[in-house]
Chain A
Amino acid sequence: ETGVTQSPTHLIKTRGQQVTLRCSSQSGHNTVSWYQQALGQGPQFIFQYYREEENGRGNFPPRFSGLQFPNYSSELNVNALELDDSALYLCASSTLLGTGGADTQYFGPGTRLTVL
């Protein structure tokens, strides 16, 4: 069983640029969630994708956008980067239960984004 992978591991950008982060879900999972973890903080929920549709969004501006592909891999796009966007970005995959209930989210190692 392949775990959740993310690329790249580290990235340095400048203010105003755009960035794309990638995530490959664990085999058999149909749901991907993205989180932002600032230094010394807990992860903050950005959004979740289920079967290629957004299925919930946290308190993040529209310049944070995402995609989920038919193979359930996902991208997080951030436009007009700001200094405060510097953080560890975590991807988590899971299986959304149709009957409700919380399935376990399996996290990738994250992408460390630095905005200068």
Chain B
Amino acid sequence: AQSVTQLGSHVSVSEGALVLLRCNYSSSVPPYLFWYVQYPNQGLQLLLKYTSAATLVKGINGFEAEFKKSETSFHLTKPSAHMSDAAEYFCAVSPTGNQFYFGTGTSLTVIP
């Protein structure tokens, strides 16, 4: 069975500080991994995806994530938080490329 665990349903950081959002997955096969962002009353927007190429994946808006197989993790980071980063972030795993399993989300608050 596939599942995704996002540690910390709420994360607060100061503007300019490091953003770290945690994601651990379980999968019976090497998965495809994704991070999506959701702004209020909107659909999900892809930030980045891992598809078994480089383990460090760079995405949009300065975000990146590192795939660590030994830790079954795919944490999302950004060196310097911006006010516009405040949103809900979802990690997702797809073992086959078509069926996606999402975590419960992490709400990021950026404090000015």
- Chain B contacts of A110 at CB under 8 A? 42-43
Contact mask A24-52 → B, CB, 8 Å, 1/0? Answer: 00000001010100001111110010100
A96 close to B42 (CB less than 8 A): no
For residues 39 through 70 of chain B, which have their beta carbon under 8 Å from a beta carbon of chain A? 41-46, 49, 51
Do A107 and B97 contact each other (CB < 8 Å), given the known contacts A43-B90, A102-B51?
no
Residue among A50, A55, A102, A106 facing the most chain B CB atoms (10 A cut-off): A102
B73 within 8 A of A: no
A100 within 8 A of B: yes
Between A and B, how many residue pairs show CB distances below 8 Å? 67
Do A55 and B102 contact each other (CB < 8 Å), given the known contacts A90-B44, A101-B51?
no
A97 within 8 A of B: yes
Q: Which of B4, B42, B105 contacts A109 (CB 8 A)?
A: B42
How long is the Cα–Cα vector from A101 to B101 in the complex, in angstroms?
16
Q: Contact size class for B?
A: 20 to 34
B104 close to A102 (CB less than 8 A): no
How long is the Cα–Cα vector from A45 to B101 in the complex, in angstroms?
7
A102 close to B94 (CB less than 8 A): yes
For residues 94 through 116 of chain A, which have their beta carbon under 8 Å from a beta carbon of chain B? 96-97, 100-110
How long is the Cα–Cα vector from A6 to B43 in the complex, in angstroms?
10
- Chain A contacts of B44 at CB under 8 A? 43, 90, 92, 107
B99 within 8 A of A: yes
Do A102 and B45 contact each other (CB < 8 Å), given the known contacts A31-B98, A45-B99?
no
CB closest residue in chain A, given B99: A56
CB closest residue in chain B, given A106: B46
How long is the Cα–Cα vector from A50 to B54 in the complex, in angstroms?
29
23 A–B pairs (Cβ distance < 8 Å), ordered by A: A35-B102, A40-B104, A40-B105, A41-B104, A42-B104, A43-B44, A43-B90, A43-B102, A45-B99, A48-B98, A50-B98, A90-B43, A92-B44, A96-B98, A100-B96, A100-B97, A101-B32, A101-B51, A102-B49, A102-B98, A105-B46, A105-B100, A109-B42
